[in-house]
Amino acid sequence: MLRIRSVEPLDEYWIRLRLTNGEVVERNVRDLLYGPVFEPLLTDYRAFRRARVRWGTVVWPGRLDLDPDVLIWNGAAPADPTVQPQLRLALHRPLAAAEVG
């Protein structure tokens, strides 16, 4: 199971992730930081830059975290273990049913 070993916050809500297989990927997580729980990360960029890795995913103070599969794959991990994640990707949150229709 591929997980995150380290994180480096970059500018514009990009993060650089070192994965457990040694690969380094970059992700823009701005679109994932929605809702009141993530508001502190959006209103104070210093809070966003306090990202750390714990339990194989990215976490922030206040018990905030994001799903590691979403960070690595932008969704569920592929069934084929030979598939490699994209090196640079802007992640997008799934739309709620009310937003689709």
pLDDT tens for 45-72 read 999 999 999 999 999 999 999 999 999 9
What CA–CA distances, in Å, run from 6 to 9, 34, 36, 88?
A: 10, 23, 26, 16
Contact 28, 87 (CB under 8 A): no
With 70 as the cut, is the pLDDT of residue 97 above it? no
Q: What is the pLDDT of residue 93?
A: 84
- State the average pLDDT over residues 23-35: 96
Superfamily of domain 4-94: NE0471-like N-terminal domain (3.30.2020.10)
Confidence band of 28 (pLDDT split at 50, 70, 90): very high
Candidates 53, 2, 60, 1; CA nearest to 32 is: 60
What CA–CA distances, in Å, run from 59 to 29, 38, 76, 83, 95?
A: 12, 11, 19, 25, 23
With 60 as the cut, is the pLDDT of residue 35 above it? yes
Q: What is the pLDDT of residue 94?
A: 76
**pTM given for the model:** 0.89
